[in-house]
């Protein structure tokens, strides 16, 4: 079997740990190294040869695009599979990554199934993945269907402090912001029978009441609660803890919080 070296690059610790865990569970014979920024990633690649790079785009100082462009300028990394991981899905960002030589694009938030499928596709093209490894990875994906959302009573709805979109790997929820600080946001969504799951990775697109976008914040769901003690409650509260450590995003978010207090 192939024993491959995988490099995970993300400035959010929760995402680094989650991706590392996903890879190790699905490919236990792989060696996984995780670093928190692009500068550390380049330093690691200068010291060791990696077979696959899983890299965040939005990082301070050295971005994922910078890392990708550095890789393609090195003989040792011209052909190495590079998966760009990001919450940005606009066409121009995708095109920049493609033009710089990215192999594939994984949008946040994502499931283990989506991550593993991308890895299998990238490694299989270079015949670096054995049939046994592919079979074992597919068998591990069944666990992703087991988690269930939690619900509990909560306080009644308050006047919203803004609008947002809450995105998981399957759909987008339009929501109103009930409370917000630099660590977490509580939003309310309409009960349409589908909810984010507790501990699920999500992206919150926070907007001004006028509709102007403020920031895309990476986070994970810490609670899902009905707004009424009724089985058919019309609305559901979702509490999301932030994972982003980008100082620019936090500065932008601070200004927005001050404007709605």
What CATH code is assigned to 5-145? 3.40.50.2300
Quote the pLDDT of residue 1: 47
pLDDT higher than threshold 90 for residue 54: yes
Average confidence (pLDDT) over 89-108: 78
* Most confident of the following: 20-24, 70-74, 212-216: 70-74
d(CA 100, CA 223): 39
User: Candidates 2.40.10.220, 3.40.50.150, 3.90.550.10, 2.40.33.10; correct CATH number of 163-260?
Assistant: 2.40.10.220
Parse the chain into domains and list their residue ranges. Answer: 5-145, 163-260
Average confidence (pLDDT) over 15-40: 92
- Specify the range with the lowest mean pLDDT, choosing from 4-8, 127-131, 186-190, 216-220: 127-131
Average confidence (pLDDT) over 158-177: 82
Averaged pLDDT score across all residues of the chain: 82
d(CA 21, CA 11): 16
Quote the pLDDT of residue 50: 96
Q: SS3 for 157? A: coil
Q: Binning pLDDT at 50, 70 and 90, where does residue 163 land?
A: confident
d(CA 214, CA 255): 10
pLDDT (tens digit per residue) in 187-228 = 999 888 888 999 899 999 887 544 455 678 889 999 999 988
Which phi and psi (to 5°) does residue 171 adopt?
-160, 175
d(CA 46, CA 66): 15
d(CA 19, CA 119): 12
Q: Decide: residue 157, CB within 10 A, 0-12 exposed, 13-18 middle, 19+ buried.
A: middle
Q: Decide: residue 151, CB within 10 A, 0-12 exposed, 13-18 middle, 19+ buried.
A: middle
Q: SS3 for 18? A: helix
Helix or strand run (H / E) with residue 133:
helix 131-140
Any idea which residue has 């409650």 for tokens? Answer: 233
- Bridge partners, 83 (sequence order): 54, 104
């Amino acid at each position: 079997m192939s024993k491959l070296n995988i490099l995970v690059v993300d400035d959010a610790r929760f995402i680094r740990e989650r991706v590392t865990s996903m890879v190790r569970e699905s490919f236990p014979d792989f060696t996984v190294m995780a670093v928190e920024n692009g500068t550390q990633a380049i330093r690691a690649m200068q010291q060791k040869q990696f077979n696959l790079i899983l890299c965040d785009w939005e990082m301070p100082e050295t971005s994922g695009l910078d890392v990708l462009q550095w890789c393609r300028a090195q003989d040792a990394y011209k052909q190495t599979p590079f998966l760009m991981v990001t919450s940005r899905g606009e066409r121009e960002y995708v095109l920049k990554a493609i033009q710089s030589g990215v192999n594939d694009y994984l949008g946040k938030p994502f499931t283990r199934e989506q991550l593993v499928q991308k890895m299998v596709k990238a490694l299989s093209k270079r015949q670096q993945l054995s049939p046994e490894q592919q079979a074992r990875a597919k068998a591990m994906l069944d666990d992703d269907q087991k988690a269930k959302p939690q619900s509990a009573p909560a306080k009644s709805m308050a006047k919203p402090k803004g609008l947002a979109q809450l995105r998981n790997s399957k759909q987008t929820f339009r929501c109103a912001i009930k409370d917000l600080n630099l660590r977490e946001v509580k939003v309310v969504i309409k009960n349409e029978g589908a909810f984010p799951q507790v501990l699920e990775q999500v992206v919150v697109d926070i907007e001004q009441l006028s509709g102007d976008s403020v920031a895309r914040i990476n986070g994970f769901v810490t609670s899902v609660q009905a707004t009424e003690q009724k089985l058919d409650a019309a609305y559901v509260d979702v509490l999301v803890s932030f994972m982003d450590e980008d100082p620019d995003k936090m500065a932008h978010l601070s200004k927005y919080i001050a404007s709605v207090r």
